[in-house]
Structure 1
């Protein structure tokens, strides 16, 4: 019998005695047959309700096969109808165990004998972005109305992708008229950069049109999917345990973006997550925990997987700390988690919350986002997040006024426009400094609008690790923010010398923005930015828990197609005013004073020399 991840996982579920609950005759253990038994495997089918964004959206048929009685299956056509209502999938049986499926975006060829599925255009077939903007390709757009997706260009690689599930022991099923995947497998295939996400617990299906808020996405629509409620179920069924682990391995192997932040990235890329975990004693313990029949042990395993994949912030496998007894039981693993996750998060939190922001307020005498001295103005821009999206939608639909700093004080575009318009209206100001030294990232929609205003270009580049394609996404921007896209947008111009200040805190979009500006010839000053080179992919495990990973389909690149995860080196380095050593929760940290970043006279000199 061919050994695969799920077969071995099922055996481990029954065999482990130190970590797992021993199997009994009622544990529904999974035994993989020699050949695929699709047409012979008995199943039960039931209709379950569909909750779509909090609204009752009818019912859908879910199957449970007798060899995997805890794992819900759904037909590809029914799944497509849930995530993109009104669309269809045609199914043609082309041979023994071979089926051709077509929708508006592409063709999928499935073999239930080989357990493979081959997309002629993977992103086309799984595209849900038409829900955000009509006719949109499967790209990146958060839906802020002052930006709209224009088009994409692709080079290199291929849109065609073939997935082999036989290695993972995941069975694809079919009858003459339909093809069935495990529900979570389809959910992972369709997961995109916008955050469309769906889950099924065997009793109901929940679809969230933007599950980018972690546990508050699907969990907010149905409390059964909240972490605290999922954790109440202390016993895990053996067939679900095995499938959950296999699907998790598949997802990490194929959809993790390899940003270069994880210690185990190279190993995962070369031999997969399962074999990476098996390579040493600590990894074997993590695998055992992930395969535990006890939910608390499983949670500890997910915490440790978080440490293994930790890449600075985009990947977040778990949202709680290890259990109280974990450090005592697994000191080596706990030490690794502490160093990789806890220390890095505390370092950033201490630098930002305990030093940089209070110091800046003391330096300027207030916490305003705009300051000016002589010919130089500074906009303190701490986040590309917290957009008041509903207020912007209301404005563009003629239902309200344009959001401003007064009405939407945390909105990044309101903050930026307030500062930029003040500087442009002041005849004394020649230099505009965008201070990203405390910026931890956010939405690329905001990035595109701001680059358009600063240097009249709104595009960015990503490398698709899965397909090998180099992708450029282009956007339109309502550059005068009058609520419409028209010829007057081209007339907007700001005659200012721009400078962007960065620090190691500048992460994600706080790293993308200076990369784009540097490529465009704008001055970057300060210290090297903090990296973060992937968009975020939102997922749910087969048993319902939310997690996110750096997405393989969008690893950010500079104009030379180089990965920007190492951070952006400034044209001009500004030394820290001083550093201090502090001890917090048993760890030593070096923190830095950013006072010199806000020296108006020095900034004026630096900018003048750069643009002369």
Structure 2
């Protein structure tokens, strides 16, 4: 087997979270284990495209979308016929796919299931192919219970009798093996052979609070976990939602193949399909089978109830109730793919309308439509109108705003997105032709601290910054404050962390006071367009009391994005359950409302008349 070596590192339109720091795992809790567990190995050579019959004592359920009173009338446990099929498995490339085995049961013949043995293989394949060779799982089965145990000894327990999935600690089970924090938004913590790190270094302290034990009751959503003599089988979509999306990939199934889809791997910014997108839409379009529609609805309710981070702020008790209240339920249960995709678009872009949750691409059942324009909610329209207005004003002052500019004794650093690349600035220090935010900050640092520099004030202009990669934002925070920090809460588990770190600004692999701009008078220019990471940075500045905020209230955006898909194949992004926070008096508060400036600039023209703004700053001394 040839593996495609790919690193699933997203460039998010928000402060996206993925745990990728270096070091040992958190302390392990005592984990209850079944007596006399039996090791089960997947026999990949015995499964082929030819259907095989199998039977087991199984139970069935009534879809959540039907009258709840009919649950008691569900048919009694019976033997279901199972068909095994092997499919190509794509990761990062449309070439040299691996293979994966799925199961289909005759009471829901269109819903793909995956055995826990095959899940073990799938997850190890993904992580070993994305530079995590120490990631390991071990499967044990005892009666109706299948248990996956990580190399850090944390477990995921699947019970086919109870239709439950239980995590002693969900955060610890899904974190990458080189993490030193239980939840961590920083990805780039590369260790060199001599023990030094590049760009970032965690401090030796952090605040951490473990989350709750989590039990997902799939029977509450009328979703079956099926037990057979060959072990437990879980819907492929459930595995995607609760084992994959937190690390920013999802599993797409189009009836002909399974695609491990990382962020932004289906449609390029010009609206054209990437290679994996072409693979996905190569399957024939058509009506959606009724059994798959009902399951997809149930799975969507399960996923959104647990993973949508703004559920309480939006006054949503359950999404089943929300779909009733918004009139979306009937359309989500349609077998017409255009109707289902239209309902998904309306849900995300109109009803949720939080600027992070958004429709990305249609189901393969509908087929790719490059001319599709999703509807927009009132918040999105208002945001875009203000963004256009502010951009037009800046364009009247600058044909192209410079990243770094000096006006007398005041340096202005401007960027509209947080971007990181794989550029090695230790080997090739940045000049004015840098390629990402870290390079731009390094260049600015060189200019500000150069011999004979007149700079006394540093202004970070985030007035048109709509977010981006969290490492870039973290680097800016660290250079401004000396000791960077962020606070994060997992709303799914109630785990919390406040982490602290340093950045290397002079590229000597040492972390000291010389790496900070904290000796200068620091300012940050913000507006309602300062969203996501463009909102996180000024919120942290505000709580630090080290940076003066100028402008108008920032645009908010508190949740890290999850990249997901429905079981019927609609691709979307969601404001997830990782909540960026600030801490006051020991309490974690979300930053969705944005932060207020210390000094309001009501005339938008004064944002970009930098001579006038410099004079205004002098008056604040």
Alignment TM class, shorter chain as reference: 0.7 to 0.9
Partner in structure 2 of residue 589 of structure 1: none
Aligned counterparts, 1:521-532, within 5 A: 521=545, 522-532=547-557
Whether the 8 Å contact between 1:76 and 1:186 is mirrored in structure 2 is: no
Partner in structure 1 of residue 503 of structure 2: 477
SS of alignment partner, residue 432 of structure 1? strand
Partner in structure 2 of residue 274 of structure 1: 320
- Is 1:42 aligned to residue 88 of structure 2? no
Displacement of 1:236 in angstroms is: 0.4
SS of alignment partner, residue 86 of structure 2? strand
Displacement of 1:216 in angstroms is: 5.1
**1:195-242: per-residue Cα shift (whole Å, max 9, x none)?**
23332334322224x32456459973423565x667x62300011111
SS of alignment partner, residue 442 of structure 1? coil
Q: Distance in 2 between matches of 1:242 and 1:52?
A: 28
SS of alignment partner, residue 331 of structure 2? helix
Whether the 8 Å contact between 2:425 and 2:439 is mirrored in structure 1 is: no
| 2:405 corresponds to which of 329, 346, 371 | 371
SS of alignment partner, residue 498 of structure 2? strand
| 2:543 corresponds to which of 510, 514, 519 | 519
| 1:7 corresponds to which of 63, 67, 74 | 63
Whether the 8 Å contact between 2:415 and 2:461 is mirrored in structure 1 is: yes
SS of alignment partner, residue 536 of structure 2? helix
SS of alignment partner, residue 590 of structure 2? coil
Aligned counterparts, 1:47-66, within 5 A: 47-54=86-93, 55-66=95-106
Whether the 8 Å contact between 1:289 and 1:297 is mirrored in structure 2 is: yes
Whether the 8 Å contact between 2:265 and 2:277 is mirrored in structure 1 is: no
| 1:120 corresponds to which of 168, 173, 180 | 168
Displacement of 1:182 in angstroms is: 0.7
Partner in structure 2 of residue 20 of structure 1: none
Q: Distance in 1 between matches of 2:521 and 2:156?
A: 51
Displacement of 1:448 in angstroms is: 1.3
**1:558-611: per-residue Cα shift (whole Å, max 9, x none)?**
4542111011011111122xxxxxxxxxxxxxxxx34346444554554663xx
Q: Distance in 2 between matches of 1:152 and 1:349?
A: 41
- Is 1:460 aligned to residue 483 of structure 2? no
Partner in structure 1 of residue 357 of structure 2: 315
SS of alignment partner, residue 263 of structure 2? coil
Answer with 371-380 or 137-146: which moved more: 137-146
Whether the 8 Å contact between 2:478 and 2:501 is mirrored in structure 1 is: no
Q: Distance in 2 between matches of 1:77 and 1:363?
A: 61
SS of alignment partner, residue 515 of structure 1? helix
Whether the 8 Å contact between 1:461 and 1:473 is mirrored in structure 2 is: yes
Query: Which structure carries more helix by proportion?
Result: 1
| 2:521 corresponds to which of 487, 491, 497 | 497
TM-score (norm 1): 0.77
Q: Distance in 2 between matches of 1:443 and 1:288?
A: 38
Whether the 8 Å contact between 1:35 and 1:113 is mirrored in structure 2 is: no
- Is 1:570 aligned to residue 612 of structure 2? no
Displacement of 1:462 in angstroms is: 1.3
Whether the 8 Å contact between 2:116 and 2:139 is mirrored in structure 1 is: no
Q: How many residues align?
A: 526
SS of alignment partner, residue 560 of structure 2? strand
Partner in structure 2 of residue 140 of structure 1: 185
| 1:431 corresponds to which of 457, 478, 486 | 457
Q: Distance in 1 between matches of 2:590 and 2:61?
A: 32
| 1:102 corresponds to which of 110, 130, 149 | 149
Over 3 Å counting, the alpha-carbon distance change for 1:536 and 1:422 in structure 2 is same
Over 3 Å counting, the alpha-carbon distance change for 1:493 and 1:297 in structure 2 is closer
Partner in structure 2 of residue 69 of structure 1: 109
Answer with 524-533 or 468-477: which moved more: 468-477
Aligned counterparts, 1:322-361, within 5 A: 341-353=376-388, 355-361=389-395
Q: Distance in 1 between matches of 2:67 and 2:286?
A: 20
Whether the 8 Å contact between 2:485 and 2:501 is mirrored in structure 1 is: yes
SS of alignment partner, residue 416 of structure 1? helix
Q: Distance in 1 between matches of 2:228 and 2:379?
A: 51
SS of alignment partner, residue 9 of structure 1? coil
Q: Distance in 1 between matches of 2:298 and 2:222?
A: 7
- Is 1:236 aligned to residue 288 of structure 2? yes
Q: Distance in 2 between matches of 1:599 and 1:68?
A: 64
Q: Distance in 2 between matches of 1:148 and 1:493?
A: 13
Whether the 8 Å contact between 1:259 and 1:534 is mirrored in structure 2 is: no
Q: Distance in 1 between matches of 2:433 and 2:215?
A: 52
Whether the 8 Å contact between 2:411 and 2:459 is mirrored in structure 1 is: yes
- Is 1:381 aligned to residue 415 of structure 2? yes
Partner in structure 2 of residue 178 of structure 1: 231
Displacement of 1:450 in angstroms is: 1.1
Answer with 187-196 or 80-89: which moved more: 80-89
Unaligned runs of 5+ in 1: 13-29, 321-333, 577-592
Whether the 8 Å contact between 2:288 and 2:568 is mirrored in structure 1 is: no
Over 3 Å counting, the alpha-carbon distance change for 1:143 and 1:245 in structure 2 is farther
SS of alignment partner, residue 293 of structure 2? helix
SS of alignment partner, residue 303 of structure 1? helix
**1:61-101: per-residue Cα shift (whole Å, max 9, x none)?**
11111111111111233223223336554444444x33333
Over 3 Å counting, the alpha-carbon distance change for 1:376 and 1:357 in structure 2 is same
- Is 1:443 aligned to residue 469 of structure 2? yes
Partner in structure 2 of residue 595 of structure 1: 606
TM-score (norm 2): 0.76
Partner in structure 2 of residue 288 of structure 1: 330
SS of alignment partner, residue 578 of structure 2? strand
SS of alignment partner, residue 562 of structure 1? strand
Q: Distance in 2 between matches of 1:431 and 1:502?
A: 17
Whether the 8 Å contact between 1:480 and 1:489 is mirrored in structure 2 is: no
Answer with 544-553 or 174-183: which moved more: 174-183
- Is 1:535 aligned to residue 557 of structure 2? no
Whether the 8 Å contact between 1:306 and 1:318 is mirrored in structure 2 is: no
SS of alignment partner, residue 504 of structure 1? coil
Whether the 8 Å contact between 1:526 and 1:574 is mirrored in structure 2 is: yes
Whether the 8 Å contact between 2:535 and 2:554 is mirrored in structure 1 is: yes
Displacement of 1:412 in angstroms is: 2.1
Displacement of 1:540 in angstroms is: 1.6
Over 3 Å counting, the alpha-carbon distance change for 1:608 and 1:213 in structure 2 is farther
Q: Distance in 2 between matches of 1:153 and 1:53?
A: 35
Q: Distance in 2 between matches of 1:73 and 1:575?
A: 57
**1:533-556: per-residue Cα shift (whole Å, max 9, x none)?**
011111121122211111113343
